[in-house]
Every structure is written in structure tokens, then in C-alpha cells.
Structure 1
């Protein structure tokens, strides 16, 4: 089987949690969500882990997260830096936050040389989702002018929070399972009478609970990187005021490639329950789910001895 890698985008993790020391464990022996993702990936056949982080959190990240993973797999660290940009481009004065997931992945261009999956650092995706994307990557076959990508698609009802609204990429999927488009919905919430999305012009509108959504779990080949570079260069041609805050998101890049006829993206359906800590109160639900999975024998009580 060909080698496959897992890219974990973690450059924003310190900012979201107020510092790495504030990341709360979800497993019984201090395991974090990211540790369960690595565990599932290794079982699915991934043989290399690539962490995308910021330089200022490197020491804390290695101590809090990386040290455990380094004992289990080959690990590479890539730094997402504001001025790591195509050509002669540079960040405008006053720009502080990272450039987004599209840029985070482009920063891996010299570290990735095999088909790879890309995930968020703080989302729990489920073991069978890693198996599905691994199966796709093992058979990925770019053709002349058409890139062979994949995306794990979750039922919307499996990705919600009990404690407020969430943002999700709602997918339009062709009958053959290929991705047509991903539309970002920034306010989706479950109500007593169903799941709804908020639109400024029409208010709350129903959404089908089984509609597929993207949770930023992608499968790519290294042929993505030249395409990413071109679109990142185009993105950076915005006026300087816009560049102070705007970000380049992976779904935007993928959508452009689909519309241009440059990529075929196979949606890989999963029935896994996604978990994440969108709200502070979500953590208890994640911890309870992990305890249930351990009781069911899906994970050992201690991930790694």
C-alpha cells in the first residue's frame, strides 16, 4: 500500500483555548481530542503525522501534544507564518491572525510527498471516517487535468451542539456521490420542530437532518499544492484593508477547483457522530462519549501505554 500522511491544522489552537495549558482532556488519562484522531489515523493505515502550528507555541505544543504522538509515529512540524507567502507577497502591517486553512495547508508544500488527509486539530471525527478516507487515498489517481480528491461527509444531525448554533459547510452532492458545491452556513441550530439555518432575508429556514455537511476532513494528493499557490496568490491581490482580516478557506479553494473542472471530489459518507468543543458546555458531552466508546471496546482505557 502506498504511504499516506495526515496533516493536522493546529496553528489556531492556542488562540482558541487561551493557551495550550488550558486545553482540557477528554480521555481518562489526560488524552485530548487530537490524540484520538492520531490513534484512529494510525489504525487506519496512516504512517506519518504533520502538525501545522505557530512557532510561538512550538515548545508548549510538543510538550502537551506532540511528545506522546512522537513515540507512536513519524512526526513533522510545519510552521504557519504570516509572511510565508507566494512570490514577493507580504502581510500588511497590522495583520495578526493566520491566513486560514488554505494557507495552512500550502505551508506544508515542502513536507508532503504522498496522498494525505487534512483535519482540524480539535474535532473528533470517528474511527470509520479515517478508514474511509484512507481507503480513498490508497486508490487516488490524478488524471491529466483532473485531480482525484475526497471529503468525508457527515449527516447534519450528527454535527450539532446542544448549547447553541454552529457553522457548517452544507454540501450539494451529485447522484454518483461527487461533490458539486459546499455552501457555508454560519448559524445552524436544532429546535423542537427541526434543524434550521438563519438567513438575514428570510429568517430561520428548515434544513434536512440527513443532508451532508463538511467538517473539514479532506483527502488530497500533492498535486493540490500548485493549485493552492495560484489561488493564494490571487487571494493576496485584494486591497490592503481587506487583507487585514480575510482568510483563505479550504472549501473555497476546493469549490473553485470543482467549478473550473480541475478536480473531482468524492464524498465519502459516514455515520460517525462528530464531537467538538464549540461551547464550554460541550466538553462534558465529549468526555461522556469517550467513556461510552471505551466501555464498548472501541478504544482502550489508556490510548498508549
Structure 2
């Protein structure tokens, strides 16, 4: 089993590269808690997707800390990483998107894997549930869901994928771009739709299979033929999975994570995150330092 962490973002709202901010009580990155939780649940490989200029630093940082039995791959997401036979000679500054970040790992992942954001904390229970699912089902995909009201920020609106489910089957994920708490309900200021807060939300914790790589490559080839999409769009991993789901190519389960989530969208979220990690370490949920 593999954990793939997406750590190629720029942290524009946070103000710096939050993936490498020392939020843990002993200077740990937030992603180190995710890696620790995965290893505790018998994940054998860690793959980190980052910017080219961060590869050497991150590889050195993690290789000094992880158990020697764990396979580590730190890969660069690059604009020049294209499907065979495809060229791109235009101009583009931002990456191709989260689906392309996952596709970057196509040559190092051979089995089931979890995809997460490197700058989110997902809770220890989520990794156990993901591991149990991958061991029990050889083919299905899954989304680890979080209760919508528990994923908001006190410091501004947030974008969340709100799930539609049928039993334990995921039907769709609808992106809501400006969710805020107003009195006893949650409102999307972009559409004026409101939610109870008890809905399951996607925080980009996906259980995937290697079949996703072929889907991404196929979509990427079409993407690169469209000048408007090249100029204004990105390839998103939830969209790839949703298209496969709607085409009945895969089955996707929605599994309540049973854990607490927090992220660091804004710089003002940092103190809360640091306090939470310290509390978890002080209570014995994590060793301190985490790699002692």
C-alpha cells in the first residue's frame, strides 16, 4: 500500500509554502503526521509530489527520518511531463493540476494507493479505514468523507466538495466555492445554496487504483488539444474519478473517516493547527519527536 502526498502547491492564501512549515511541537511538517499514521497502518511506500526546486530538500529531510524499510519517492511535477508523442510549446506558469500530480507517480506505483493533500491533517482513524478497505476490496475506489460542519475555517470562506451518496456508494461530488457558517446553517455564497452541515465533504482523501493513470493520460491528451483549457483550466483528480464513476468504469465507496480534520488554508489557521498537534502529542497519540 502506498501513500501519495500532493505537495506542489504555492500557498498563495497562506503566504508561504505551508507544506514545509514547522507546525509540529518538535518542528515537524504537517505531512510527517500523515506519513507516520500511514506507516502505523502498514503502508510500505511514501510518494511525495512537489516542485522541482524542492525535491532534493524534501528527499533529504524525509530519508533521514523514515524507517529504512519504507520506500520513499520524491518526484517533481513538471510542465514538461507529457504523454508520449505529445508536445507543448506554449506558455503556462501554473501546474497542470492535481490529476497531473497523481499521474507524475505512474512509474513508481504498482498497487492500491491513497492520495491526500500534504497540508491537511486527516486523523489517525482515516488511515486505518483506508488500509482495511484496500485489503478487503481489490478493485473499488473510495473517498474518505468528513462531516461538512467540521471542515470550515473561522477565518474566511472555504471551497469544499459536498458529497451525494446512496447508502455507502458515492454518487457525485459537487464543488462549492464559498462556504461559510451563518447561524445554524452553512451557506455557499457563490450559489446561495445552504446545507445542514451534516453532509459528507471531500477533503481529497482518495483510495485509488493504478487504472487511474490511464484515465488521466487519456484526459490529458484531450486537454492539450484545447487552447482555452490550456489557458484557463487544470486537471483535477476528483473530476477524473467522477467521470470514471459516471461511465460505470469503477465503483466508489464513501467511507466516513471517523477522524478529525483540519487544514491551514489561511495563515491565521496556523496557531490552531499547532495547538492541536501539540495536544495530540501531549496526550500520547504521537511520540514527541514523532520519529524518536
- Say whether 1:182 aligns with 2:173: yes
- Say whether 1:219 aligns with 2:207: yes
State the SS of the aligned residue for 1:263. coil
- Counterpart for residue 196 of structure 2: 208
Say whether the 8 Å CA contact 2:179–2:189 is kept in structure 1: yes
- Say whether 1:272 aligns with 2:259: yes
* 1:54 Cα deviation after fit: 2.1
* 1:193 Cα deviation after fit: 3.1
Aligned counterparts of 1:17 and 1:62: Cα–Cα separation in 2: 23
Q: How does 1:84-233 map to 2 (within 5 A)?
A: 84-142=81-139, 148-175=140-167, 177-200=168-191, 203=192, 205-233=193-221
1:66-112 CA-to-partner distances (Å, cap 9, x unmatched) read 54336572201222111212233333522011111111111111110
Q: Please give the TM-score of this superposition, normalised by the length of structure 1.
A: 0.89
The 1:139–1:105 alpha-carbon spacing in structure 2 relative to 1, beyond 3 Å, is: same
* 1:246 Cα deviation after fit: 1.0
- Within the candidate set 50, 53, 64, 1:56 is matched to 53
* 1:234 Cα deviation after fit: 2.2
- Counterpart for residue 68 of structure 1: 65
- Counterpart for residue 25 of structure 1: 22
Q: How does 1:257-268 map to 2 (within 5 A)?
A: 257-268=244-255
* 1:150 Cα deviation after fit: 0.9
Q: Which runs of 5+ in 2 are unaligned?
A: none
The 1:138–1:130 alpha-carbon spacing in structure 2 relative to 1, beyond 3 Å, is: same
- Counterpart for residue 278 of structure 2: 291
Aligned counterparts of 1:92 and 1:100: Cα–Cα separation in 2: 18
Aligned counterparts of 1:15 and 1:279: Cα–Cα separation in 2: 9
Q: Please give the TM-score of this superposition, normalised by the length of structure 2.
A: 0.93
Aligned counterparts of 1:195 and 1:127: Cα–Cα separation in 2: 27
**RMSD across aligned positions (CA):** 2.1
Say whether the 8 Å CA contact 1:155–1:271 is kept in structure 2: no
- Counterpart for residue 251 of structure 1: 238
Q: Which runs of 5+ in 1 are unaligned?
A: 143-147
- Counterpart for residue 41 of structure 1: 38
Say whether the 8 Å CA contact 1:51–1:78 is kept in structure 2: yes
